[in-house]
Amino acid sequence: MIHYLCENIVMPDLDQTRVQNWIRQVAAEYGFAIGDITYIFCNDERILEVNRQFLGHDYYTDIITFDYSTPSRIAGDIYISLDTVGSNAEQLGIAFEEELKRILIHGVLHLTGQEDKTEEAHQEMTRKENLALGEY
């Protein structure tokens, strides 16, 4: 089940049923069922606080994923800074909604075991995001 929470920000306009079905489909392509996934939408200050507290990082980011998955079921808490999603969309010249979908699926891909720490892994993550976005 997918849950949506907001901290210090207004809930983005999402077709929650469509998003849930999409995530279920993408997870299945990687051999996973859906467990409890909670998206926590927040502002830049809140994600910075989470980044400092839990990861020891002192910088803003668009997403932080806490993975509670099992070998067959993805689960986790996914913090998304809507401020950063908005500024990224603006810099890329794309709609906010498109960048939000990319970030939503980016977290799911992390839960399936995809990494993006090296340049090669980052490129592979982007390729997989693009494939998933084509299925939305």
Confidence (pLDDT) at 113: 96
Helix (H, G, I), strand (E, B) or coil at 64: strand
pLDDT at site 60: 93
Q: For position 89, what pLDDT does the model report?
A: 98
Per-residue pLDDT of the chain (136 residues; tens, 9 = 90+): 999 999 989 999 999 999 999 999 999 999 999 999 999 999 999 999 999 999 999 999 999 999 999 999 999 999 999 999 999 999 999 999 999 999 999 999 999 999 999 999 999 999 999 999 999 9
CATH of domain 2-133: 3.40.390.30
* Residues 8, 80: Cα–Cα separation, whole Å: 12
CB 135 within 8 A of CB 117: no
